[in-house]
Amino acid sequence: MRMTYREAMRTALREALAADPRVFLMGEDVGRYGGAYAVSKGLLEQFGPDRVRDTPLSESAFVGAGIGAAVAGMRPIVEVMTVNFSLLALDQVVNTAATLRHMSGGQLSVPLVVRMATGAGRQVAAQHSHSLEGWYAHIPGIKVVAPATAHDARWMLPAALREPDPVFIFEHAMLYPEEGEVGDAPGPLPLFRAAIRRPGRDLTLIAHGGSVGKALAAAERLAREGIEAEVVDLRSLRPLDDATILESVRRCHRAVVIDEAWRTGSLAAEISSRIGEAAFFDLDAPVARVCSAEVPIPYPKHLEDAALPQPDGIYAAARGVLKPTAGVTV
Amino acid sequence: MRMTYREAMRTALREALAADPRVFLMGEDVGRYGGAYAVSKGLLEQFGPDRVRDTPLSESAFVGAGIGAAVAGMRPIVEVMTVNFSLLALDQVVNTAATLRHMSGGQLSVPLVVRMATGAGRQVAAQHSHSLEGWYAHIPGIKVVAPATAHDARWMLPAALREPDPVFIFEHAMLYPEEGEVGDAPGPLPLFRAAIRRPGRDLTLIAHGGSVGKALAAAERLAREGIEAEVVDLRSLRPLDDATILESVRRCHRAVVIDEAWRTGSLAAEISSRIGEAAFFDLDAPVARVCSAEVPIPYPKHLEDAALPQPDGIYAAARGVLKPTAGVTV
Amino acid sequence: MATLDAPAVSPPQAAVAIDPPTARAWLGQMLLIRRFEEKAAELYSAGKIRGFLHLSIGEEAVSVAAIGALTERDNVVSTYREHGHALVRGVPPGAVMAELFGKANGSSRGRGGSMHIFDAGRRFYGGNAIVAGGLPLAVGLALADRLRQRDAITACLFGDGAVAEGEFHESLNLASLWRLPVLFLCENNYYAMGTALGRHQAETDISLKGAAYRIPSAAVDGMDLLATTAAVRQAVDQVRSDGGPVLLECRTYRFRAHSMYDPELYRSKEEIDQWKLRDPITLFRARIERDGILTGAELEALDREAREATDRAVAFAEAGEWEPVADLLKDVYAREPPCA
Amino acid sequence: MATLDAPAVSPPQAAVAIDPPTARAWLGQMLLIRRFEEKAAELYSAGKIRGFLHLSIGEEAVSVAAIGALTERDNVVSTYREHGHALVRGVPPGAVMAELFGKANGSSRGRGGSMHIFDAGRRFYGGNAIVAGGLPLAVGLALADRLRQRDAITACLFGDGAVAEGEFHESLNLASLWRLPVLFLCENNYYAMGTALGRHQAETDISLKGAAYRIPSAAVDGMDLLATTAAVRQAVDQVRSDGGPVLLECRTYRFRAHSMYDPELYRSKEEIDQWKLRDPITLFRARIERDGILTGAELEALDREAREATDRAVAFAEAGEWEPVADLLKDVYAREPPCA
Ligand SMILES: Cc1ncc(C[n+]2csc(CCOP(=O)(O)OP(=O)(O)O)c2C)c(N)n1
Ligand SMILES: Cc1ncc(C[n+]2csc(CCOP(=O)(O)OP(=O)(O)O)c2C)c(N)n1
Ligand SMILES: [Mg+2]
Ligand SMILES: [Mg+2]
């Protein structure tokens, strides 16, 4: 059935709250306001203020409180309004959520789900346009997923709630109004596997979240020119599904990684280096990256568009790796 | 003249405080305690509590205060005791220090220097052993350096203080007691250039901070077996000195990147992917990485040693990339 | 729930004198903010302004009183709801409107938009979209002044929601511990987005929080321009004379939505109407008329001038150029080319 | 002390009864902590214990009174200076010492060391080396109890230095706003590492800070075991009856260095000696002798038992195995193999 990414996430939240009394949702304005992106609209009315809990502006405290509640056996879903504000809670994530199980010698579990919006594109400027999910993917002890479709927005949450470890769900802010087909079951793909969104043979485009649609758009254009690009949607950023990525690259021999994060130190770098390590002799050209320009994202549309990965840039990068002389220059 | 890395940094701080009235040092226990690593010992007595300023445990506020003082024309040197605690101030770094110049249309400058200890090796366990300088290297608007020698500990600070933008200096905690030769002038190498610590021809070992010594140790062992490894000390993590890195790799055709950070999303990934992008056809083997195991660093020595990059592991990785069959397997 | 509770602050000692020029200036500034933001809302609907737009309509008295009490030497640190602060500070309306458009003739060359108005020359240090993110910056500006024995204070404006953030606590402690000249001015409009004060603060009297840091504190009716002016002047004088910080809570209300995205599910029309009865502009105008300080014709003229100034600002913004894409990376660092 | 709202240190209302068994238990616990940590210091010099080691010698009365007032159902959240808390909570001395050694028979399988003692069965949630990092965790544990109507409280211990962190502010507000059963217990030993209370707090009376969150607060002489016991019991009772948080400041002193690295440049021998005159063990023993509750022989025996328990703990630690390197990645995640 068709619904928006926003409705899909709301459906998942409603189901989770209805199904398990241990589940509750907390975060800034998730209740009366209905969620900054209207994702939790109506849930307060249905489940009450104990289970749909508005928090003060205290990111570190309410993320930490989610960790504590999870340790005590609840199944909290913490909404951090956006990844931009999650920096204020990063200590709790890195030093508490990610360490407790190992550091305690396996005594504690942190079955916590943290959701947050990520990404740029809405002209909200330098402090509200970060794509920092790659940082979260660096942290052992937590898991990170990024639904790119309405179907995944609907079905990744219940799977995340079944995990005994902290799972971070990154929802690209541009996807909320996007409509998509949502199956009435999760389907065969496990939570931590990548998906091939478009089969191809000439090169592999690897993306996640809000960049998947841009990769598909570039693939369409390439297809019109007789080039069949395979598009891999990572879905899981930690763990990374090396098997799916490498199988595709070994088959296509060329790859472009798309990532809305700033290029230097992006998750795209990790993927590019893993391909280099594991599929070096299968590559006919260096792996290319299409990332955001290394600049605080500016407000005006023309500058924001220029700063972010776009289908044209992906197309150009694809053309680049397809050139016989590919990679001879930087 | 020979001195420890600690003394070298203290000499640099003393000189900076004496030379420029706009310079002041602030951070937790930099004054009466003498600095958690005794770096600032004696400076309070010499320069007084206004210029060697003990702060409360308020990382976000005193890093932010350093930004504000820099904007107002001072030259603050903020010491965050360790990178582990800097997470609490990361919002101020990412959303204020790094954005002010660009976001204000070039009206504001943030000539701030932030110093912090980084790295593991002292058996201080999961919350005190992070190597997160790679995250800082991801942020446009700031610059990041990592002195690996006493000479650089002595001379990077004055150069950083001349920068009109925020510069972050990462001091590996294991280096403080290390003795080294310190020249009485900075020498020819600019702040943001890498250094070749050991010339070689068979492969390039790339490291920074506390890993440089380990790379040199591995190089010695390789040399005893007739293999000449070139050791590149990055020195600057942002910007990265692509020219020096690529020149070396193009000459040696093989490379191993060493980074004490967790492997996934490490700075080593960025370097590996840049080499792949720019020197693909010069490589005789895939670029290898030697990083920390993806685990919260445990307390016992044997487990900590096993979790961190070691000369043996670097040696093995070097041997790996030198194999004719290199990279055929993961 | 937001109620019209009486501020728990002693009425200002010195009554504020208002002669005709003062009345004209203050009413003119409030009207300029009101008309400017009404126009901005229109232009948002018209698609000329994008992203986030936060209006301060209803809170004009605080902008006029707070910024009006400062000298050119003082520093201002503001939030994303800062149009009023910027206009009263003297940032040209055209430059502010152009910034909202994202044009290169905007106050931040169009890069920041509504949430990031900067004017270094006027010591207007933004325009910060991270709630409470400006407080440490203000402490640092004041620290620099203290270290250089520069005689100036730093006014740091923030909302009630910011009070819950750790940075509020750390910054107030630091400013008091080091006796830094900061006026912490809380614009308490009783909501943090859709979260009412009582749902985000265990102690809803924000002026009581200064005691935890030994910071003299007060609260004032932020809808009453004269009371607020007196309270701010008193606070500013105290910061200047003591050298240490003061916390002033101005109790006001936001008549419009939090931002242009907000469906306002969290408050009733009745509540808003209640507060509108205390519209700071209406109240001040009534006072002026009652005391016959300005004639009806003069009042008309002030409103006309505000509308005309707004129209000129829009024209200036319309006429502005877009920053060339080639300049995207300019000023990431002081020296080009940007590194890494 | 009069009421929990009274900020000043005052004698407890109800004198705490001490019969011989109680006296034996409490003195025994204080002596165990003292001897255990004295031995740990020796073993650090001997290289058996590495990394950071923070001793609570001088602060034993707070550990005994605070943890002693809790039931098995209650939760404890502690800091890196937690040996005393863990021992009083009932974590076997051997398991604690083995953890300090880093042996697999340690309370955290040796992975955490001195700063990270965990015992899930005893609801001892660590052992946190990030100052103030445990406060949000405590709020969450209490929130879970509240949501499940589980009748228990959470005791959250932290130092005076933690009070400056934003997480202190955010956590106290949250706990009070949501009326969560948390006892926030500040062990004020007048120093944050080398920074004296007056150099990190603008308001040095920590018990005055609860008012900003409408949290009943009190301070007590943490060197006086009986006064502290009375104050903690009163605070615990209030948390249980009101359901909301209480802030209790226990004023104490650290006789040893901050950690084994600390040259103690920041305080004088005289100051330390002054405080040693109020050694909680000496004070309590004097009281017991004065009232003839225990005989000299019994007191001797208690000390001997503490030394023997410590020796047994060391033997247990010595006998422990090292965790095999092959298990390094075990428990990064619940399911093996670890991902990514
Ligand atoms: C650290 C942080 N968390 C969350 C947000 C999202 N947000 C923007 S404004 C706002 C409410 C702030 O309320 P208040 O401080 O009272 O200011 P007001 O909008 O009422 O003027 C929130 C939650 C943010 N910008 N920064
Ligand atoms: C967030 C953070 N900042 C800095 C440190 C380094 N540090 C460890 S203990 C300490 C002092 C803490 O003092 P206090 O809270 O009074 O506890 P005490 O050591 O006196 O028991 C500091 C600064 C840390 N561990 N965590
Ligand atoms: Mg508000
Ligand atoms: Mg202390």
Angle at C60 between CA A36 and CA C143, to 5 degrees: 80
Give the residue among B163, B110, A306 at the shortest CA–CA distance from C111: A306
| Model confidence pLDDT, tens digit, residues D81-116 | 999 999 999 999 999 999 999 999 999 999 999 999
Chain C hits for A84, CB-CB cut-off 8 Å, are: 130
The SS3 call for residue B55 is coil
Name the phi and psi angles at A233, rounded to 5: -95, 115
Tell which of A55, A60, A168 to mutate to test the D interface (max D CBs under 10 Å). A60
User: Given a cut of 50, is residue A158 above it in pLDDT?
Assistant: yes
| Model confidence pLDDT, tens digit, residues D219-278 | 999 999 999 999 999 999 999 999 999 999 999 999 999 999 899 999 999 999 999 999
User: Given a cut of 80, is residue D338 above it in pLDDT?
Assistant: no
* Non-local CB neighbours of B36 within 8 Å, separated by 6+ positions: B28, B29, B81, B82, B117, D193, D261
CA C35 to CA C307: how far, in whole Å?
6
Chain A hits for B330, CB-CB cut-off 8 Å, are: 242, 277-278
What does the CA dihedral D259, D262, D267, D272 come to, rounded to 10 degrees?
A: 50
Ion ligand 3, residue ranges at CB < 5 A: C 159-160, 189, 191
For residue A268, the one-letter residue type is A
CA D15 to CA D95: how far, in whole Å?
35
Touching partners of D (3+ C-beta pairs < 8 Å) = A, B, C
Q: Are C1 and C223 in contact (CB under 8 A)?
A: no
B164: number of Cβ within 10 Å: 13
Secondary structure element (H or E) that encloses residue B172, with its range: strand B167-172
D20: number of Cβ within 10 Å: 13
Chain C hits for A60, CB-CB cut-off 8 Å, are: 166
CA distance to partner chain C, nearest, from residue D180 (Å)? 12
At residue C17, the pLDDT reads: 80
Across the B:C interface, residue pairs with CB atoms under 8 Å apart total 152
Gap from CA of B327 to ligand 4 centroid (Å): 53
Q: Are B246 and B278 in contact (CB under 8 A)?
A: yes
Q: Residue C127: CB within 6 Å of ligand 1?
A: no
User: Given a cut of 60, is residue A327 above it in pLDDT?
Assistant: no
Give the residue among B194, B207, B109 at the shortest CA–CA distance from B156: B194
Alpha-carbon distances, residue D210 vs A314, B267, C202, D184, D235 (angstroms): 56, 44, 11, 10, 13
Which residue of chain C is at minimal alpha-carbon distance from D165? C170
Give the residue among C150, A9, C139 at the shortest CA–CA distance from B22: C150
* Nearest CB partner across the interface for B125, out of A98, A103, A278: A103
* Nearest CB partner across the interface for A128, out of C129, C132, C261: C129
| Model confidence pLDDT, tens digit, residues B72-106 | 999 999 999 999 999 999 999 999 999 999 999 99
CA D96 to CA D110: how far, in whole Å?
9
CA C12 to CA C31: how far, in whole Å?
25
At residue D16, the pLDDT reads: 79
CA distance to partner chain A, nearest, from residue D134 (Å)? 8
Quick check: A107 and D116 CB within 8 A? Answer: no
Question: Which pair of tokens denotes residue A105?
Answer: 């010698």
CA distance to partner chain A, nearest, from residue B106 (Å)? 12
Tell which of C82, C105, C109, C130 to mutate to test the A interface (max A CBs under 10 Å). C130
CA D310 to CA D93: how far, in whole Å?
7
| Model confidence pLDDT, tens digit, residues A295-321 | 999 999 999 999 999 999 999 999 999
Alpha-carbon distances, residue B227 vs B82, B204, B216, B223 (angstroms): 37, 11, 13, 5
User: Given a cut of 50, is residue D153 above it in pLDDT?
Assistant: yes
Q: How long is chain C?
A: 340
| Model confidence pLDDT, tens digit, residues C219-238 | 999 999 999 999 999 999 99
The SS3 call for residue C94 is helix
Q: Going by CA atoms, what residue is nearest to atom 18 of ligand 1?
A: C159
Quick check: B99 and A135 CB within 8 A? Answer: no
CA C41 to CA B7: how far, in whole Å?
60
Q: Residue A81: CB within 6 Å of ligand 1?
A: yes
Touching partners of C (3+ C-beta pairs < 8 Å) = A, B, D
CA C329 to CA A292: how far, in whole Å?
12
Q: Which residues of chain C have pLDDT under 50?
A: 1-11, 13, 337-340
At residue B326, the pLDDT reads: 54
Which residues of B are tagged catalytic?
59, 128
* Average pLDDT estimate for D198-210: 98
Any chain D CB within 8 A of the CB of C166?
Answer: yes
Gap from CA of C307 to ligand 4 centroid (Å): 59
Question: Which pair of tokens denotes residue B87?
Answer: 């997470």
| Model confidence pLDDT, tens digit, residues B242-269 | 999 999 999 999 999 999 999 999 999 9
Q: Are C34 and C93 in contact (CB under 8 A)?
A: no
Looking from the CA of A283 toward its CB, the CA atoms found within 13 Å total: 30
Q: To the nearest whole number, what is the mean pLDDT of chain B? A: 97
| SS3 track for chain D | CCCCCCCCCCCCCCCCCCCHHHHHHHHHHHHHHHHHHHHHHHHHHCCCCCCCCCCCCCCHHHHHHHHHCCCCCCEEECCCCCHHHHHHHCCCHHHHHHHHHCCCCCCCCCCCHHHCCCEHHHCECCCCCCCCCHHHHHHHHHHHHHHCCCCCCEEEEEECHHHHCHHHHHHHHHHHHCCCCEEEEEEECCEECCEEHHHHCCCCCHHHHHHHHCCCEEEEECCCHHHHHHHHHHHHHHHHHHCCCEEEEEECCCCCCCCCCCCCCCCCHHHHHHHHCCCHHHHHHHHHHHCCCCCHHHHHHHHHHHHHHHHHHHHHHHHCCCCCHHHCCCCCCCCCCCCC
Please classify residue C4 by burial: count the beta carbons closer than 10 Å to its beta carbon, then call 0-12 exposed, 13-18 middle and 19+ buried: middle
At residue D133, the pLDDT reads: 98
CA D91 to CA D98: how far, in whole Å?
11
* Non-local CB neighbours of D110 within 8 Å, separated by 6+ positions: A105, B298, B299, B300, D98, D99, D101, D102, D103, D104, D320, D322, D323
CA distance to partner chain B, nearest, from residue C120 (Å)? 6
Q: Are B46 and B25 in contact (CB under 8 A)?
A: no
Q: Across the beta sheet with A229-233, what order do the strands follow?
A: A195-198, A229-233, A203-207, A255-262, A288-292
Quick check: A105 and D135 CB within 8 A? Answer: no
D300: number of Cβ within 10 Å: 11
* Nearest CB partner across the interface for C340, out of B50, B55, B238: B238
Q: To the nearest whole number, what is the mean pLDDT of chain A? A: 97
At residue C11, the pLDDT reads: 47
Q: Are C335 and B190 in contact (CB under 8 A)?
A: no
Q: Are A50 and A89 in contact (CB under 8 A)?
A: no
At residue C181, the pLDDT reads: 98
Q: Are A85 and A45 in contact (CB under 8 A)?
A: no
What does the CA dihedral D34, D40, D46, D52 come to, rounded to 10 degrees?
A: -130
CA B21 to CA C73: how far, in whole Å?
21
Question: Which pair of tokens denotes residue B59?
Answer: 């990382």
Quick check: D328 and B88 CB within 8 A? Answer: no
Quick check: B124 and D110 CB within 8 A? Answer: no
ipTM exceeds 0.90, yes or no = yes
Quick check: A240 and D143 CB within 8 A? Answer: no
Any chain D CB within 8 A of the CB of B125?
Answer: yes
CA B213 to CA D222: how far, in whole Å?
48
pTM: 0.97
Mutual angle of helices C60-68 and C225-242, in 10-degree steps: 30
Secondary structure element (H or E) that encloses residue B43, with its range: helix B43-47
Give the active site residue among A79, A128, A151, A270. A128
Secondary structure element (H or E) that encloses residue B27, with its range: strand B23-27
Touching partners of A (3+ C-beta pairs < 8 Å) = B, C, D
User: Given a cut of 90, is residue D336 above it in pLDDT?
Assistant: no
DSSP for residue B211 = G
For chain B, give the percent of residues with pLDDT over 90. 98
| Model confidence pLDDT, tens digit, residues D274-327 | 999 999 999 999 999 999 999 999 999 999 999 999 999 999 999 999 999 999
Report the Cα D52 to chain-centroid distance in Å. Answer: 17
Q: Residue C223: CB within 6 Å of ligand 1?
A: no
Name the phi and psi angles at C225, rounded to 5: -55, -40
Q: Which residues of chain B have pLDDT under 50?
A: 328-330
Chain C hits for B106, CB-CB cut-off 8 Å, are: 109, 330-331
CA A274 to CA A263: how far, in whole Å?
16
Quick check: B68 and C340 CB within 8 A? Answer: no
Name the phi and psi angles at B120, rounded to 5: -115, -175
Please classify residue A187 by burial: count the beta carbons closer than 10 Å to its beta carbon, then call 0-12 exposed, 13-18 middle and 19+ buried: exposed
